[in-house]
Amino acid sequence: MTKEYEFLNQINFPSDLKKIPESKLQKVADELREEMIDAVSVTGGHLGASLGVVELSVALHFIFNTPNDKLIWDVGHQCYPHKILTGRKDKIRTLRQGGGLSGFTKRLESEYDPFGAAHSSTSISSALGIAEANRLSNKSDNVIAVIGDGAISAGMAYEAMNNAGASKTKMIVILNDNDMSIARPVGAMGTYLAKIFSGKIYFSLRETIKLITSAFSKRFTAKAGKAEDLLRSAVTGGTLFSSLGFYYIGPIDGHDLSSLVPILRNAKDSKHEGPILIHIKTKKGKGYSFAEQAKDNYHGVSKFNVKTGEQIKSINKTPSYTKVFADTLIQHAKKDSKIVAITAAMPDGTGLNSFRKEFPERTFDVGIAEQHAVTFAAGLATENFKPYAAIYSTFLQRAYDQVVHDVAIQSLPVRFAIDRAGLVGADGPTHAGSFDTTYLSTLPNFVVMAASDEAELVRMINTSTEINDRPCAFRYPRGIGLGSVLPPINEKIEIGKSKVIKEGKKLAILNFGARLNETLKAAENLKKKGIDITIVDARFAKPLDENLIWQLATTHEAIMTIEEGSIGGFGSHVVNFLTKKGLMDNNLKFRSMNLPDIFIDQDTPENMYKKANLDSNSIEEKVLDLLNSNIVLQKQK
């Protein structure tokens, strides 16, 4: 820590927090909030959500016996104060850095993280599993899941609540309602929670429970318990949560420790059989004025100046791939009224916020519901609309069954704009786009493309507008482009047609995706060593450019494939083609370069690609190895 605090300096673990007088917990929360703001200003990260749960984090660790009592944070965006209180205070300034703390909960990092979470809506399911394990093991430890109002809009959360209510398993679910997930929550659940909150019950219930649980009201405990039941049934007995079998309490002020602490203590000591849901109301970005006033409440921030709130961002006039996608789609939508865009609660991250400004009625934010998003897009496609489902690669994994059954089998022309392809940096392995080429290119009649630069991305979007007989996908990385000149929107690519970038001898490299620039760097160094190679921008993993591959296989000694995806993707399809055609029988040498069979921890994208052996040096070394060259590779310093 860089500051001296009255209480926080004494707290390394929750056992230390329990030594602080209950009357001083708000001071602890204030210091915790100050320390977190200071730390994230250095590292960047998901600040807004964590600011909103400072008091809740303090109250939970004060009341419950973690790590024996299991505390599960949904998504992990809100876990920073939890990390500071659970033995990671001195490492908090390594957050999201190479070799440092993960930006999410992570089992390997701490015993206080019983379940890793970086995709939303998993907390109730995992908590129920742990609670059932406790029951089977005759353990009486508590299990607490903290889920946000955005995350509870997803179907998985309701599947879990339905199961939990029916099984009457003892567990506690805390609904952190801040009216703001990554973007504003959409759908009926947001409206429903707003109605509960706006009712007169908020202050009356809060004050009633404070009375019930007050240390000065012990003699009224029995009567108070009946009063609480009466009030709950009279005012909230018809809530959805009660109908699902949860004992519902709330909503209460999530920043009022004088309410939170006694209510959590009551929940902990409750003899109630079955799950309890405590609905708290919080403010995302709470306690930091710049976060409170920002449109996104500082959901994800880069490094920033604590005093001014100004985020430190590199100035670059080159547009991001995401912006190029959105701008190009807008141009097409102006000419084609059938084009519609779909996002699963990520309008800003996918660039569709700008599309929505132009075409509000043709933009659909379906909430944190990727499965629904895909089948919804399929329904649109049956009526001759042209749906573009803009979904991060890592999130599209959640809808694979729908991609197979609802889109691919029916050959519906849904267009998948796959953002964040490849390794993504600080968000680490949970957000890496490692598998989409593999899981999509195995599907019959699917067109799978990858952009090597932003100009190719434009061409692929242009091409996708006229693919009306089958589904297609085009993948592109996070971050800014290479500064390539963008082509007009009428410039398309022949389906399955690769592009030869340079011609050489002996060895041909087929690059699929955004490693092309690194491949060209390797080629420059190899040329200095007397090795001139052919380089191809493959563009398509499916269908393959079989004619070109045949030609290269019969005119070169060796072929290499390069891709920023897992095994089973582009390279696997190439070698399968070569084997089927007997081309491997002619002493053809072959190597594939893809992501290794590991999950790569967070770091800068450059360092992550070095670890993956997909940087220019690694490409150069692989070429020399393949050609059995005696030339000594001079590593770049």
Annotated catalytic sites, by residue?
284, 370, 398
Distances (CA, A) of 63 to 25, 27, 102, 223, 248: 12, 17, 26, 24, 19
Helix (H, G, I), strand (E, B) or coil at 316: coil
Q: Using the Cα atoms of residue 395, residue 396, residue 402 and residue 406 in order, give the sign of their dihedral.
A: positive
Contact yes or no for 298/36 (Cβ under 8 A): no
Q: How far apart are CA 258 and CA 276, in angstroms?
A: 20
**Which residue in this structure is represented by tokens 């190009």?**
328
Residue type, 291: A
Spatial neighbors of 379 by CB under 8 A, at least 6 apart, are: none
Closest CA to 175 of 252, 259, 106: 252
Q: Locate tokens 């920002």: which residue?
A: 294
The burial class, CB within 10 Å (0-12 / 13-18 / 19+), for 634 is: exposed
Task: Give the Cα separation of 98 and 119 in Å (integer).
Answer: 21
Is-contact 63 71, C-beta < 8 A? no
Task: Look at the alpha carbons of 66, 6, 100, 54 in this order and tell me if their dihedral is positive or negative.
Answer: positive
Q: Who's near 191: CB < 8 A, 6+ residues apart? A: none
Q: Which two tokens stand for residue 139?
A: 């353990």
Q: Please give the Cα distance from 284 to 254 (Å, whole number).
A: 11
